[in-house]
Amino acid sequence: MPSAGLSPRRAVQLTALLALLVLYSLQLVGALLPNVPVFVTASAAGLLLDLYLQHKQAGLLALLGRVRFDVVTRQLLRDMLIVVGLVRLPDVERVEEMGVVPLLLGCYAAHFFCQAMAVMVRRSRTLPIVTRNIDASGLRLTAAPPRLLLRQPSRRLLRFMIPATLGLLLTAMTSHRGWALAGLSVTLLLSVGGAVHLIGWLLPKKRTANSEEVLAWLDGWLADYRPTVGMYFSGGASSAYQANMWLSTLASLDGRPLIVLRERFMVQKIDATDVPVICIPKVAHLMHLEQSTLKMLLHPANSGKTSQVLRIPTIKHAFTNHGESDKLSSCNPYAKAYDEVWVAGPAARERYQLADIGVDDKDVVEVGRPQLAPIRPYAGPPSPDGFTTVLYAPTWEGWTNDPGNTSVILAGENIVRELLADPAVRLLYKPHPMTGSVDPRAGEANKHIQAMIAEANAQRSGTVPGPEAAAELARCVAELEELTSTAFRRSVDETERMLLQSSPESDRAAAVETARRAWEDAYWASLPAWQHQVITSSRPAIYTCFNQADLLISDVSSVVSDFLTSEKPYAVANTSGLAEADFKAGFPTVRAATILSPEAVEVPALLSSVRNPAEDTLAAARADLKGHLLGPSDPPSLVRFNRAALELCAEADARNARAAARTASEIPGQRELSHAAEEAEMESLPPAPALEAAADPEDTLIG
């Protein structure tokens, strides 16, 4: 039995590995004795176990692959032991006379031939770019071959070998060689047939465009579409939200927008949008943007591949970031690589100057935060007869050892305990999705908090929404899933996805937004007003939680800056060890907050001030800080953002015009003068016999 410290996943993997070794041992023992029941049972069970591992235990298969005990080795060992068993069985005809071995070797040869065809087809279908919302019919895109043939060689081998293994074992049981020959022949035909089927995708009728044709098509599409403003993004699978938060803003700008990605998987991570999406993995191909009409790129995040696009001189670059806070990470020295740094308001401008990281103040542009438009403003205190909704949204521990990054470890349980002690509080707990990923203590505290909330809910009761609310939520869920679903048939590859997504998603983004808002309304209506909530999924989004909350409790993070647009009361936990005055001086975003100590003894007074506006002494400070952090409300943020984009595009036009003028006037003139000088110098020289004698081909090659 696995030890108490072994996780269930590890226990299953260890059990499967031991079972695999035991079955091989029993197969060998059954072959050598010989013992037909043991031999047949172990052989069949080993194949079934391998099939299970292929579907359910990818981690164990990766480990076996690293020690070179992959599926081909395991199947070959299994077949070798079966042949040994047939040799040892006295009633079975001699193996060499049955022709079993040549057929078995033919099955493996056919498998490797089929795999070679699969590799060739995959390479031919791996285009240098991936697109979405772009008509790519000129690339001769076709549907993909079956997934089993194209991308699952391990499963293909095991499944195709089932007839062979079954036939060999039936021969061992009945002593009739016909079973073995029939099974091996079926396996051979399956592999050969699979290879022939794959060859069809290498013929002109189904073969996609080659790299040169694709890149030429890209140049033509860029020339026809004439993009002006784009968003550049590169990152890991969990970072897509950083780009998604800017989609609506990008789509609202004047001009012809474009999304440029670098990782192939990211194409499907981008939310519903009408904006054309193009992924260019290789830096050499990225340079095709230099010849396009693209004038500027927005950068929501820094990445190692950002420096590659910064090499293009014809494009201006603006760093928008994906959130602003007082954390040091909001003032990364990499920001000085961009032409401009776009921030929400004066606070971020001051932050960059205080950080002294090389960002010139003239390159900092205040544009507000267009994404905050859905956040509703403060509408007064909660009803005396209702519940006070408190959103506790702590950040995660971060990659640095800076104290006070997250309140979960030192203050989280105390904050939640104080909130749950108030019978008129409804708590929404939304931890950062990466909580516990660096410090295990944060993960443990997060679990304890969720257990506390579950226990508190068990002790509460009240009116529950009727079945109509649940039915409406189900309807909204179905509608939203239908609009946002990117489900494809199982055999689809990225080339087929390009074909299926080649039509622009006209108005789909607007439909998704409408459906999302309907889902949010139905979601909150379906929940009891008295019930605490733990929200760990991406929906409902943080801004929706803002609209439900009367009070926010958080840490030093961009959540605070965004919440301030509502001007509702908020509190920040101080677990940094700093005195309150020093804490406020070091982190301007907490200037209008109630500061909570790790013991959270301030929570009762905080709740009282939320319910009684006369006790709220920070209302004016919040309004002032909102303007300092997010800039003025008039003109709206989107207007300021669009104006900044147009101005940066104009700067790109001016720079490119100057560069074109220099190219047309200075460089060719220099070349012509230099060439004329060389000709004059050559004409003035006397004939050189050594040069005249250099007619020998070998001398010419050396010269």
**Using one digit for the tens of pLDDT, what is the confidence trace for 541-555?**
899 999 999 999 999
Question: With contact defined as beta carbons under 8 Å apart, do 402 and 624 qualify?
Answer: no
- Could you count the other beta carbons within 10 Å of the beta carbon of residue 467? 8
pLDDT at 636 over 70: yes
Report CA-CA distances (Å) from 516 to 445, 508, 533.
Answer: 32, 12, 19
Beta bridge partners, 342, equal: 365
Query: pLDDT tens digits, residue range 386-429?
Result: 999 999 999 988 876 666 789 999 999 999 999 999 999 999 99
Q: pLDDT: is 653 or 96 the higher one? A: 653
Give me the pLDDT at residue 489, please: 80
Q: pLDDT: is 124 or 684 the higher one? A: 124
Q: Which residues contact 85 (CB under 8 A, 6 or more apart)?
A: 27, 30, 31, 34, 39, 43, 172
- State in words which class domain 388-464+528-633 has: alpha beta
Q: What's the pTM value of the predicted model, to 2 decimals? A: 0.83
Tokens of 165: 């293994």
Amino acid at 62: A
Query: pLDDT tens digits, residue range 37-93?
Result: 999 999 999 999 999 999 999 889 999 999 999 999 999 999 999 999 999 999 888
Instruction: Write out the E strands in 555-624.
Output: 570-573, 594-596
**CATH code, 211-371:** 3.40.50.11720
Give me the pLDDT at residue 329, please: 60
Question: With contact defined as beta carbons under 8 Å apart, do 453 and 534 qualify?
Answer: yes
End-to-end CA distance of the chain: 79
**Residue 324: which of 652, 636, 576, 589 has the closest Cα?**
589
| SS3 per residue for 476-537 | HHHHHHHHHCCCCCCCCCHHHHHHHCCCCCCCHHHHHHHHHHHHHHHHHHCCCCCCCEECCC
* Total number of residues shown for the chain: 703
| 425-429/388-393 β-pairing | parallel
Give me the pLDDT at residue 355, please: 83
Query: pLDDT tens digits, residue range 130-144?
Result: 999 999 989 999 999
Beta bridge partners, 45, equal: none
- CATH 3.40.50.2000-classified regions of the chain: 388-464+528-633
pLDDT at 673 over 70: no
What are the contacts of 183-191 at 24+ separation with CB within 8 A? 184/100, 184/103, 184/104, 184/106, 184/107, 185/103, 187/107, 187/160, 187/161, 187/162, 187/163, 188/103, 188/106, 188/107, 188/110, 190/160, 190/163, 191/107, 191/110, 191/111, 191/113, 191/114, 191/160
Question: Residue 561 burial (CB < 10 Å; 0-12/13-18/19+)?
Answer: buried
- Could you count the other beta carbons within 10 Å of the beta carbon of residue 371? 19
Reduced DSSP (H G I as helix, E B as strand, rest coil) percent helix, strand, coil of the chain, to 5? 60, 10, 35
Give me the pLDDT at residue 588, please: 84
Q: pLDDT: is 634 or 325 the higher one? A: 634
Helix (H) or strand (E) holding 257: strand 257-261
Give me the pLDDT at residue 61, please: 92
Quick one: average pLDDT of 315-339?
A: 83
Give me the pLDDT at residue 334, please: 86
Buried b (16+ CB within 10 A) or exposed e, 180-219: bbbbbbbbbebbbebbeebeebeeeebebbeeeebbebbe
Amino acid at 326: D
pLDDT confidence bin for 331, thresholds 50/70/90: confident
What are the contacts of 639-642 at 24+ separation with CB within 8 A? 640/366, 640/367, 640/368, 641/249, 641/253, 641/342, 641/367, 641/368, 641/370, 642/252, 642/253, 642/254
pLDDT at 208 over 80: yes
Give me the pLDDT at residue 494, please: 94
pLDDT at 458 over 60: yes
Maximum pairwise Cα distance, the chain: 110
What are the contacts of 95-102 at 24+ separation with CB within 8 A? 98/177, 98/180, 98/181, 99/181, 100/168, 100/177, 100/180, 100/181, 100/184
- CATH 3.40.50.11720-classified regions of the chain: 211-371
Give me the pLDDT at residue 505, please: 63
- CA angle, 76 then 81 then 85, to 5°: 145
Query: pLDDT tens digits, residue range 229-279?
Result: 999 999 988 788 899 999 999 999 999 999 999 999 999 999 888 899 999
Q: Where are the alpha helices (DSSP H) in 33-92?
A: 36-56, 58-66, 71-88
